[in-house]
Structures are given as C-alpha cells and as structure tokens.
C-alpha cells in the first residue's frame, strides 16, 4: 500500500479547519454564556437599544407594572455593568447551575478589577423558544453586580 501523497494531507487538514471554523461561527451566539457576553458587549459599546435582543424585558417604557419593573431592572443592571466597564474590569463566567429542568440557568460571573479585587454576581438566564435571554429582575434580585460571593468549589 502506498502512503498518501502530502497534498491529500493538506486538503484533509484544510477541510477539517473549515468545518471547525464554520461550527464555532454558527454556535457563537448560542447558549446562556452568549446571552451574557452579548449583554456585556452591548453595554460596553453603548448600544443600550440592543439590550432588547438579549433581555427578557424591553428598555422602552411600558404601561404594565411587570414590564416597567423589568425595564427598570434591565437599565439598573446595565448601569452596574457600565460601572465595571469604566473601571476596566474583565469578566469570566465561572459557574453555571441549571434551574427548573434546564430552561433556566444561574451563571456566576467573576468581574476582576485591575487592583485585584473581584466580585461574583449571579446572573439569571432563561431559555425562550428561540434563544437565551437575561432575566434582569431575577438577576438584580439574586445579587447585583456590586456584590456576590465566589462560587463554592464542588
């Protein structure tokens, strides 16, 4: 049996690289982690109107008390995140805990500041029919961005 020609090895490597890149590109905005990342990126870039695409609640005023509470919580969460961004904090999702049959997730996010100080807010993320969204009311009720504890080691 003859060994494969080097050209076939390069073609196979190129094909695998394309499949890998395509897979990561398609799934980059999928899952609770991406909802958190998109929320943080929208706040950091000043695109507050885009928060409607990753939050359960609109940032527009509403007549419903529940929707108005959601709008307030979303804007409050955005302000807390903006404060972290202004202080040059980096973030990392350090734990995910499935709630209510897997359609809700409690995600502990570590915000690290340049002075070495860290905070660990817990974000509540809910799966809708089409994507994952930040539940800012539950997030602000659990622990706001200016508090929280490190996750317990399992």
* pLDDT tens digits, 101-134: 878 999 999 999 999 999 999 999 999 988 899 9
What pLDDT is stored for residue 4 in this prediction?
59
Q: What is the 3-state secondary structure (H, E, C) of 115-153?
A: CCCEEECEEEEEECCCCEEECHHHHHHHCCCCCECCCCC
For the cut 70, the answer to whether the pLDDT of residue 28 exceeds it is no
Q: What is d(CA 123, CA 111) in angstroms, rounded to the nearest whole number?
A: 12
Q: What is the DSSP letter of 57?
A: S
Residues 56 and 33: their CA atoms lie apart, in Å, by 15
More confident residue, 5 or 146: 5
What is the rounded average pLDDT of the residues 68-97? 93
Say if CB 58 and CB 67 are below 8 A apart: yes
The class (CATH top level) of 29-142 is alpha beta
Cα-based distances in Å from 42 to 11, 23, 105, 112: 39, 24, 21, 19
Please report, rounded to a whole number, the percentage of residues in the chain having pLDDT higher than 90. 49
What six digits make up the tokens of 78?
């955005």
What are the pLDDT digits (tens) for 32-57? 999 999 999 999 999 888 898 999 98
Sequence ranges of the domains in the chain = 29-142
């Amino acid at each position: 049996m003859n060994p494969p020609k080097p050209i076939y090895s390069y073609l196979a490597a190129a094909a695998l690289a394309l499949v890998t890149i395509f897979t990561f590109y398609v799934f980059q905005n999928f899952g609770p982690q991406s909802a958190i990342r998109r929320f943080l990126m929208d706040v950091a870039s000043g695109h507050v109107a885009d928060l409607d695409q990753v939050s359960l609640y609109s940032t527009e005023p509403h007549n419903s008390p529940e929707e108005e509470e959601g709008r307030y919580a979303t804007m409050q969460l955005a302000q807390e995140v903006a404060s972290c961004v202004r202080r040059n904090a980096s973030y990392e999702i350090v734990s995910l805990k499935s709630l209510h049959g897997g359609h809700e997730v409690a995600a502990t996010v570590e915000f690290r500041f340049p002075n070495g100080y860290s905070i660990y807010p817990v974000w509540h993320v809910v799966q809708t029919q089409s994507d994952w969204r930040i539940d800012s009311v539950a997030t602000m009720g659990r622990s706001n961005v200016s508090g929280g504890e490190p996750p317990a080691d399992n």
